[in-house]
Amino acid sequence: MPYISNTDAERHEMLSRIGVGSFDELIKAIPETLRLKEPLKLPKPMSELEITRLIQGKTCRNVCVQNTNSFLGAGVYDHFIPAAVDSIVSRPEFFTAYTPYQAEVSQGTLQFIYEYQTMICELTGMGIANASMYDGASAIAEAILMAVRKNRLMKAILPATLHPEYVKVIKIYTEGIGVELLTAPAKNGIMDVEALAMMMDDSIGSVVIQSPNFFGNLEPMHALEKIIHAQPKALFIAACDPIALAILKSPGELGADIVVGEGQALGNSMYMGGPLFGFFATKLDMARLMPGRIVGGTLDAEGKRAYALTLQAREQHIRRDKATSNICSNQSLCTLAATVYLALIGREGLKEVATQSAQKAHYLATELAKCPGCRLAYPDTPFFKEFVLQTPIPAAKIIDSMLPRGIFPGVDMSRFGHENQLMIAVTEKKSKAEIDELIGAMKEVCHV
């Protein structure tokens, strides 16, 4: 039997040391009537070789992005991952360790989290970051709840330019506490600044701005910040792409109070959308209101530098129903990948990743806008690495006709209520030849 060490003889020996004649005596506290009479209805156990063959068979029925010319994005991105990332992440010393409850034998985990927190603060321009949330969506939701803890105001504004899947998650997280979510309208694929100004009053607790937003466009952060902070109590929650932060102004510089986002793009594979990880940073003076785990530097008994989990008095295992959040496990291994990725890519490398992604995306956008019947949905709005293309025929048709050629041209926006639109993402991984292949294919497909 795999993964169980004890032999039958050893089991007998152990049972007799315990002082029972059979296993059943050990579970006599379970009433006979509750116990299963039949074995579970599951297939016969498989050997390692058999499961390997089975999985080979199943994976054949997937088409993976690696063997395709893919322009899919909308929240999960195919950025390059250096080989050394997995080499470190898969080390059992990190991989099979647990939450660092015993600091003296967990310094490896604690220190990388401390380094991760530092990197996130550098990128976002904030003073403190936590050790991660489940994903970008839950991070925004927790940010709204944190704003409620800060100012006790129960209204939050979400922009119409926020990822629709995020909105669903935010709704479920905030409704129990009684937060009222308001939607601020969009204009030309970004927030309508004047409309937001009209919505603001002293009952608004927080405003979420995603930039680049769901459509890939960059929001006018300066103008939005002024409007939000015209209300002294309202908090500005910025959700952003960490890659973009290498070249674009940090939300901290732009006056954000809480900065969150999806971290998958930093060294983590797409895995059909999970695991992802949310990053979460804020100003130092709001540390105690923050959800999630935090690592802090300290000293050991000999005065040597050491690390430990800190500010735990906010957490569920101490505060129970009064805790800042119910989060217990986080996405530690994903943040290890992000830490190693950011170390390897480095200061110049991340700028290069961001620059090439933007350059290639803009080249593609310019060329696709020339295809018959195509135009950019938001031609006058700056975007980062993703944009929406208005197409002459339903996007689903384009996607279907490109499937046999091994091209995923983008996300069909009709699933979000936008007909004849494709959302197209480009990363530094796309070669010019691949981009040109899509341009060529679009010209053929749209020429009807």
Partner 1 sequence: MSETIFELSSPGRRGCTLPNREIDTPLSSIFPSEMMREKDARLPEVSELDVMRHYIALSHKNHFIEKGLYPLGSCTMKYNPKVHETLVRHSCFNNLHPYQPEITLQGSLELLYELQDDLAEISGMAGVTLQPVAGAQGEFAGLKIIAAYHKAKGNHHKTKIIIPDSAHGTNPATCSLVGFDVVELKSNAEGRCDIDRLREIVDENTAGFMLTNPNTLGLFEAQIEEISKLIHGVDGLIYMDGANLNALMGIVKPGKIGFDVLHFNLHKTFATPHGGGGPGCGPVGVVEKLLPYLPVPMIAKNENGYFFDYGHQATSIGKVHTFYGNFAVMLRAFFYIKMLGAEGLRKVSENAVINANYLMKLIEADYHVTYNEYCMHEFVADSSWQKKEYGVNTLDIAKRLLDKGFHAPTIYFPLIVPEAMMIEPTETESKQSIDAFAAAMIEIAQEIRENPELLHEAPLTTPVRRVDDVRAVKVLDPIFKIET
Q: Find the shortest distance in angstroms from Cβ 194 to partner 1.
A: 19
Q: Which stretch in 187-195, 224-232, 268-276, 371-379 sits in contact with partner 1 by CB under 8 A?
A: 268-276
Return the residue of 195, 197, 200, 356 that touches partner 1, per CB under 8 A.
Answer: 356
Q: What is the spatial distance between Cα 381 and Cα 102, in angstroms, rounded to a whole number?
A: 51
Considering only residues 321-350, where is the footprint of partner 1 by CB under 8 A? 321-323, 325-334, 336, 339-340, 342-350
> Cβ of residue 201: shortest distance to partner 1, in angstroms?
25
Question: Closest distance between partner 1 and the C-beta of residue 233, in Å?
Answer: 23
Sign of CA dihedral 201, 248, 143, 120: negative
Considering only residues 166-195, where is the footprint of partner 1 by CB under 8 A?
A: 166, 168-169, 171-173, 175-178
Q: CA–CA separation, 412 vs 403, rounded Å?
A: 13
Q: Output the 3-class SS for 305-318.
A: EEEEEECHHHCHHH
For partner 1, which residue of 154, 193, 197, 311 counts as binding (CB under 8 A)?
311
107 binds partner 1 (CB under 8 A): yes
Decide if residue 236 touches partner 1 (CB under 8 A).
no
52, 66, 87, 274 from 55: Cα distances, Å: 5, 18, 23, 19
Instruction: Compare residues 206 and 211 and give the one whose CB is closer to partner 1.
Output: 211
Show contacts with partner 1 in window 374-403 (CB under 8 A): 382, 399-400, 403
Residues 108-167 contacting partner 1, CB under 8 A: 108-109, 111-115, 117-119, 121-123, 127-129, 131-132, 134-138, 145, 163, 165-166
Q: Are 259 and 124 in contact (CB under 8 A)?
A: yes
CB 399, min distance to partner 1, A: 6
Q: Which is nearer to partner 1, 152 or 320 (CB)?
A: 320
CA distance 38 to 96: 34
Name the residue nearer to partner 1 (CB basis): 25 or 202: 25
Strands 190-191 and 204-210: unpaired
Asked if residue 211 lies in contact with residue 218, where contact means CB atoms within 8 angstroms, the answer is yes
Would you count residue 362 as binding partner 1 (CB under 8 A)?
Answer: yes
Give the shortest CB-59-to-partner 1 separation in angstroms.
Answer: 4
Q: Which residues pair with 307 in a beta bridge?
A: 297
What are the angstrom distances between the C-alpha of 173 and each of 132, 137, 170, 179?
Answer: 17, 10, 5, 9
> Which of residues 214, 236, 277, 387 is near partner 1 by CB under 8 A?
277
Q: Are 74 and 411 in contact (CB under 8 A)?
A: yes
Least distance to partner 1 from the beta carbon of 179, Å? 10
Q: Is the peptide bond before 392 cis (omega within 30 degrees of 0)?
A: no
Q: Give the interface size with partner 1 as a residue count (CB under 8 A).
A: 209
Of 439, 410, 437, the closest CA to residue 424 belongs to 410
Of 69, 194, 306, 387, the one binding partner 1 by CB under 8 A? 306
Give the pair of three-digit tokens for residue 411. 């996300």
Taking each helix axis from N to C terminus, what angle separates 164-174 and 136-151, rounded to the nearest 10 degrees? Answer: 40
* Cβ 440 to partner 1 shortest distance, Å: 16
Each residue 3-42 as x (binds partner 1 by CB under 8 A) or -, in order, gives xxxx---xx-xxx-xxxx--x-xxxxxxx-xxxx--xxxx
Q: Contact with partner 1 (CB under 8 A): which of 21, 297, 373, 379?
A: 297
Stretches 152-160, 372-380, 429-437, 439-447: which one binds partner 1 (CB under 8 A)? 429-437
Contacts of 248 (CB under 8 A, 6+ apart): 218, 354, 384
